[in-house]
Amino acid sequence: MSWPDSKSKITILAAVFALTALPVQAASYNEAVSLYEKRDYEKALPLFQEAEKSGIQASRAAYYTALCYHQLRKAREAKAAYLHVVQRYPRTGVAQQALGILEKIDPAFARYKSEVLKRYEEEQNKQYQELPEVVKVKYRNVGGSGHMIVPAMINGVPIKMMFDTGAGVTCSKQSFLDRNRIKIENTKPSIRLRGVGGEVPTRVGLANITVGNMTRTIPLQIEQDQSTSKVPDGMGSIMQLPLLGQNYFKDFEYEIDDANKFLIFKKLASTQVASVASTKKSTVKSDLEVPFYRMGNHIIVTPKVNGRECEMILDTGAGTVAFADRHLAACGLNRPTHALSGQSGGVGGKRVGYNFLVDSIQLGPVLRKNVHCSMVLHSDFPKPLLGQTFLKGLKYTIDPSRNVIRFDESSKNAY
């Protein structure tokens, strides 16, 4: 469960204006990097040019070439070199950085920006079309909580992640990456994430995330926690896992079959992919379908709580249906006086909370009675969370091309 302060989508227009050196791995880079760091740009320049021609970290070598020209105050050559990076390596992080610098140093570049972005979008669409048509993944629940734990890899390292529709972005704690010796290169300061436990600072870097037979390169938000922290046992250890969030799968139709513990991702047609970002309205075609809308990357639905409509975030990463104390009145609920006290945790840490029962919650054809809920004190997550005490055991499909949730006939009964 995580909520960025601002839109979490990392766009190609993210400008990085500081002319800092990027970390490098190839041994043949050592001399060039050393020269660059000593500000000997004249000698470093031909070495980076030769490295690109040789295919040694080619995109980074090209970017370093542009940086050298820039530092040498050779504006014409620098502009040409930055544009070369954008056009030749459009899928890379350095292309994003080069594009941002071009906009800063060359106001006339705006005339060409639409053409460059069109090329980038074409590359992104090509990358999407190369993904598998169908990806079927077995998951498991832990400790009766309903949390969905999937096998995955980050940069080729096998790990486990929590599938979380309530996480707008895919994120990990720095301590988890350190314990598993996962290196994310070229990170930079990023947004603050808000969760049940409050706000946390993050850095962001591109990572290769693999689930089933699908690998995608996406921005990974890295929570800046203490790597020396002791790993808790039981459910606490589950909450240390990375969250597989909406920026990994929001452009797929995906089915959640909680009875059989399967996630099934289905690739959309190219015309449908375009509609994911632009679709505002839902097209409901049967009584088994429920409309939703997006708030950033989050899926917002309107269930009835004791017969009263209440907007909520569809959140597979929430163990219960959860309310902040300020949400109760808007949903027709009173602060529970005989509730059991406890703690609720998520991004940002833990908060004091209370557990209580709600008589009924209904979303479309699904009616749950005597639903276990939690109320969290002094937390500012934006809307109540429709979590696993409602979703557990159901079979349903999220269709982002029409903004609907389609429930299976088997989920139509009252509970």
Say yes or no: 233 and 290 in one domain.
no
Mean pLDDT computed over 130-157: 94
**For tokens 């009616």, what's the residue?**
367
In angstroms, the CA 212 to CA 132 distance is 10
In a domain, 266, yes or no: no
pLDDT class for 11, splitting at 50, 70, 90? very low
**Phi, psi for 254 (deg, rounded to 5):** -140, 140
Q: What is the pLDDT of residue 134?
A: 98
| Residue of higher predicted confidence among 110 and 286 | 286
Residues 279 and 339 in one domain: yes
pLDDT score at 323: 94
* Residue 246 belongs to domain spanning: 134-257
Confirm whether 300 is domain-assigned: yes
| 176 and 277 part of one domain | no
At residue 157, does pLDDT exceed 80?
Answer: yes
Average pLDDT, the chain: 83
Quote the CA–CA distance of 45 and 35 in Å, as a whole number. 9
- Reported confidence tier of residue 95, pLDDT bands at 50, 70, 90: confident
Asked if pLDDT for residue 277 goes beyond 70, the answer is: no
90-94, 103-107, 317-321: segment of lowest average pLDDT: 90-94
Report residue 293 as tokens: 């809308």
124 with 143, same domain: the answer is: no
Residue type at position 344: S
- Indicate the residue among 211, 232, 257 that finishes a domain: 257
Residue 406 inside a domain? The answer is yes
CA distance 149 to 162: 5
As given in the structure block, the two tokens for residue 415 are: 């509970």
The confidence band for 248, taking pLDDT boundaries of 50, 70 and 90, is very high
| Residue 192 near residue 223 (C-beta atoms within 8 A) | no
Q: Check if the beta carbon of residue 185 is closer than 8 Å to that of residue 157.
A: no
The whole-number pLDDT of residue 12 equals 25
Residue 247 lies in a domain: yes
- Distance between CA atoms of residues 377 and 389, nearest Å: 20
* C-alpha torsion 214→215→217→220, nearest 10: 90
Same-domain check for residues 152 and 177: yes
Tell me the mean pLDDT in the region 224-240. 64
The pLDDT score that the predictor gives to residue 152 is: 98
Name the region of 181 (left: φ>0; alpha: ψ -120 to 50; beta: rest).
Answer: left
- Whether 22 has a pLDDT exceeding 50, the answer reads no
Among candidate residues 230, 257, 284, the one where a domain is terminated:
257
Write the pLDDT tens digit of every residue in 368-412: 999 999 998 877 788 999 999 999 999 999 999 999 999 999 888
Residues 188 and 156 in one domain: yes
Q: Please give the C-alpha separations between residue 52 and each of 79, 90, 137, 267, in angstroms, as whole numbers.
A: 17, 15, 39, 35
The reply to whether 264 falls in a domain is no
**pLDDT of the residue at 15:** 30
Listed residues 95, 129, 163: the one ending a domain: 129
Are residues 220 and 98 part of one domain? no
Q: Give pLDDT, residue 55.
A: 75
pLDDT class for 351, splitting at 50, 70, 90? Answer: low
8 Å CB contact between 189 and 174: no
Alpha helices by DSSP H, 317-400: 388-391
Total domain count for the chain? 3
First to last CA, the chain: 26
Query: What is the pTM assigned to this prediction?
Result: 0.71
Whether 160 and 125 map to the same domain: the answer is no
CATH number of 365's domain: 2.40.70.10
- The mean per-residue pLDDT over the stretch 331-357 comes to 68
What confidence score (pLDDT) does residue 163 get? Answer: 98
In this prediction, residues 239-249 reach a mean pLDDT of 94
Same domain, 388 and 310: yes
pLDDT higher than threshold 60 for residue 20: no
- 45: domain CATH number is 1.25.40.10
Is 91 in the same domain as 184?
no
In terms of domains, do 361 and 396 share one? yes
Alpha-carbon distance of 18 to 178, in angstroms, equals: 27
- Cα 45 from Cα 22, distance rounded (Å): 15
Confidence of residue 18 (pLDDT cuts 50, 70, 90): very low
Is residue 105 within 8 A of residue 17, CB to CB? The reply is no
Express each pLDDT in 166-214 by its tens digit: 999 999 999 999 999 999 987 877 777 765 555 788 888 889 999 999 9
Give dist(CA 218, CA 170) in Å, integer.
8
| pLDDT number for residue 352 | 63
**Residues 6 or more apart in contact with residue 322 via CB below 8 angstroms:** 196, 315, 344, 353, 373, 374, 375, 376, 381, 384, 385, 387
Domain-embedded: residue 265: no
Provide the token pair at 395.
């079979």
Q: What is the largest CA-CA distance in the chain?
A: 74
What does the pLDDT read at residue 140?
A: 96
Query: What is residue 59's predicted lDDT score, i.e. its pLDDT?
Result: 84
Any domain includes 263: no
Q: Quick check: is 69 in a domain?
A: yes
DSSP string, 296-339: TTEEEE--EETTEE--EEE-TT-SSEEEEGGGTGGGT-PPPSSP
Q: Inform me whether the pLDDT recorded for 145 exceeds 60.
A: yes
Q: Is the pLDDT of residue 165 over 80?
A: yes
Interatomic CA distance for residues 2 and 167, integer angstroms: 5
The residue with greater pLDDT, 21 or 89, is 89
Report angle CA 261, 181, 156 to the nearest 5 degrees.
Answer: 50
pLDDT-above-70 percentage for the chain: 79
- Looking at the structure, do residues 407 and 276 belong to the same domain, yes or no? yes
